[in-house]
Amino acid sequence: MPARNTRTSISLILISAALVIGALYFLFLVSLISRQFLVDAAYKDPSLPIEERIDDLVSRMTLREKIGQMALVEKNSLPLDDVARYGIGGVLSGAGGKPKENTPEGWRVMIGGYVAASRASRTGIPILYGLDANHGHGNVPDTTIFPHQVGLGAANDTVLAENVARITAKEVRATGAHWIYSPSLDLPTDIRWGRVYEAFSDDPVRAAELGAAVVRGLKSANTVATAKHFVGAGSMTWGSSINQNFSIDQGATYADEYLLRTQYLPPFKRAIEAGVESIMVGLNMWGEHQMSSNRYLITDILKKELGFQGFVVSDWYGAYEISESKYASAVQAINAGIDMVMLPYEYKRFINDVERAIRRGDITKERIDSAVRRILRVKFSSGLFDDAFAMPDLSVIGSPEHRALAREAAARSIVILKNSNVLPILNARKIRVAGSGAHNIGMQTGAWTVEWQGIDGNWLSGATSILAGIQNISKAEVQYALDGRFTEEDIADIGIAIVGEKPYAEGWGDAPLPRLSAADLAAIARLDEAVEKLVIVIISGRPLIITDELSTWDALVAAWLPGSEGVGVADVLFGKKTTSATLPLPWPRTIGQIPFSLEGSSDGTPPLFPRNFRLILDRSH
Ligand code: BGC
């Protein structure tokens, strides 16, 4: 009996094994056939019209593949194997999301890995790899760092802005990424906001023209641009932030239809005319509700009224900030019109939730198809599918030509606010330099440079501090003391105090009273004792309150966040280059004047310097 039993069990095992093997073989054949089936698929034919390729591809995609395309995942949360498994549509490096080896080669290898993984998926739909290159490819050391947008706003030159964007895109492409979260079209009305410097100006016309120029520049070097943050970002009310660490960032914009139409929308309209392919919805609220839940603004206005054909992407975790329930939040965001969701973490949950929402009828299949079509349209039209994106050689990164443009941009973004016959400095014998920003590349490049919050200090190779620029250019003897303590007791002809803000990003830069630090004020006071004439250069992301100090200074220069080429600032101080930059936003006299509207200050008093103010340097003094 036992022998018979054993024989029966063996037979059963053999039969089961055969069945399992058979089933696996069957699955293998099915997957092979389905892959095979896609080999000659029409969507792979670059000669066909894009809409035909989209039709063909969408008709072949499974529901889960479609939902996967709508997921934008932060690279540290995404193992390579999951890219194809979940058919992920986009991968991003949030600021600081760098490869282990943070070199241009390291980036190229890392992004190449994600692209290859997506190409190996059943459909072979390439991912879009996105990042914030908002003042050059700031994520990577040794790249060319341009002035932050507020500086380009001051320069107010569309040709310059377009060229800066083109070179930025070239350096980004050299590292393999395709998609840049720029330009910012925010209109900052309150200098207490930590993101003033990411915007061009509070003037919608200036922002619109420069934004369109950046879109053109980014597109010309084969990157996908992103206009952000839709809409009304910059006009939030102080104290309204939903983030407990912040005061105004991620706060509420008053829901005003008149301002919407006359100010907030026009820059986006221009960006759409310039061909922008993606638009990022802000983390601000419109009235009492999260922007990412606003169907009227995203679908009715942006997509239908303005005719935007690209895709709408939500900002970092924004689709989950609508309500307590993650499921309900995602459903609301997608139904409002968000096409790609910057999750940026839990993609498995997102895919399951959206699949469930479709089953339950909370989201329609048509809505999913519409989102996917928009994403695919951008992937096709930008040449991603056909590997048409030429990757420039790595040698373009930080090249002398690129740095020359950054030097030019730094010089052209400088606004001269006061000058009692000191500038340009032509015949000085001895110059003393002081202040926290004189020899601090981290300060002059600001945040979004290698780290989200930037890095204070001199760590960026290939860059030039303003002090080094002065030493290179000036024929005078140049002495430097950060704190303004000079050992010699004589009086030098000129003192240059380079002072300002340490780097900060987003709500971490919200500040109730932006002004110079006590250390900088002390350095200025000491320097003043040791020089005939005092020039103040402010390195900052926004106007600072300097009303009490201004009268004791002979010259004042706003250099914003000039970037890696500090010598551009020295060029202007020493008359090597001229600047015709104007103030891109009013410089307040008091905090009580804030916020400014286009009509003026809140309390009706004049600012210290009005929007568009500038002095032209005269070489004849
Ligand atoms: C910012 C966006 C940025 C995104 C990705 C968010 O915190 O608000 O401007 O593009 O992060 O880094």
Atom nearest to 344 CA in ligand 1? 5
- The model's confidence at residue 378, banded by pLDDT at 50, 70 and 90, is very high
Compute the distance from residue 206 Cα to the ligand 1 centre, in Å.
22
Compute the distance from residue 183 Cα to the ligand 1 centre, in Å.
12
CA nearest to 446, candidates 105, 228, 149: 149
Compute the distance from residue 176 Cα to the ligand 1 centre, in Å.
20
Atom nearest to 93 CA in ligand 1? 12
Mutate to test the pocket of ligand 1, among 315, 342, 450 (most ligand atoms within 8 A of CB): 315
Q: Is 239 left (phi over 0), alpha (psi -120 to 50) or beta?
A: left
492-507: pLDDT as tens digits: 999 999 999 999 999 9
Q: How far apart are CA 378 and CA 275, in angstroms?
A: 11
Mutate to test the pocket of ligand 1, among 98, 281, 316, 342 (most ligand atoms within 8 A of CB): 316
Compute the distance from residue 252 Cα to the ligand 1 centre, in Å.
17
How many secondary structure helices (H) and strands (E) does the chain include? 19, 17
Atom 11 of ligand 1, residue of closest alpha carbon: 316
Tell me the catalytic residues.
315, 506
pLDDT at 2: 46
If 0-12 CB within 10 Å is exposed, 13-18 middle and 19+ buried, where does residue 98 land? buried
Q: How far apart are CA 185 and CA 211, in angstroms?
A: 7
pLDDT at 388: 58
Identify which has the larger pLDDT, 37 or 221. 221
Q: Are 283 and 338 in contact (CB under 8 A)?
A: no
Instruction: Compute the average pLDDT of residues 185-206.
Output: 98
107-151: pLDDT as tens digits: 999 999 999 999 999 999 999 999 999 999 999 999 999 999 999
Compute the distance from residue 94 Cα to the ligand 1 centre, in Å.
7
95 Cβ inside 6 Å of ligand 1? yes
SS3 464: strand
Compute the distance from residue 242 Cα to the ligand 1 centre, in Å.
16
Residue 272 has pLDDT above 60, yes or no: yes
Residue 284 has pLDDT above 60, yes or no: yes
571 Cβ inside 6 Å of ligand 1? no
SS3 sequence of 59-101? HHCCHHHHHHHCEEEEHHHCCHHHHHHCCCCEEEECCCCCCCC
pLDDT at 229: 98
Instruction: Compute the average pLDDT of residues 393-420.
Output: 97
DSSP state letters, 389-408: -----GGGTT-HHHHHHHHH
181 Cβ inside 6 Å of ligand 1? yes
pLDDT at 36: 53
Q: Are 425 and 474 in contact (CB under 8 A)?
A: yes
Q: Average model confidence (pLDDT) for the chain?
A: 95
315 Cβ inside 6 Å of ligand 1? yes
228 Cβ inside 6 Å of ligand 1? yes
**Percent of the chain residues topping a pLDDT of 70:** 94
Residue 33 has pLDDT above 60, yes or no: no
pLDDT at 1: 43
Residue 26 has pLDDT above 70, yes or no: no
Identify which has the larger pLDDT, 605 or 30. 605
Instruction: Compute the average pLDDT of residues 203-230.
Output: 98
Q: Are 282 and 290 in contact (CB under 8 A)?
A: no
Q: How far apart are CA 478 and CA 601, in angstroms?
A: 41
pLDDT at 32: 57
Identify which has the larger pLDDT, 96 or 5. 96
Q: Which amino acid is at 358?
A: I
CA nearest to 414, candidates 575, 182, 198: 575
Residue 419 has pLDDT above 50, yes or no: yes
pLDDT at 214: 99
pTM metric for this prediction:
0.94
pLDDT at 621: 59
Atom 8 of ligand 1, residue of closest alpha carbon: 315
Residue 478 phi, psi dihedral angles, 5° rounding:
-115, 125
pLDDT at 438: 98
pLDDT at 459: 87
Residue 579 has pLDDT above 50, yes or no: yes
pLDDT at 18: 73
Residue 383 has pLDDT above 50, yes or no: yes
Instruction: Compute the average pLDDT of residues 421-428.
Output: 97
316 Cβ inside 6 Å of ligand 1? yes
154-182: pLDDT as tens digits: 999 999 999 999 999 999 999 999 999 99
Compute the distance from residue 323 Cα to the ligand 1 centre, in Å.
20
Mutate to test the pocket of ligand 1, among 92, 132, 450 (most ligand atoms within 8 A of CB): 132
Instruction: Compute the average pLDDT of residues 350-364.
Output: 98
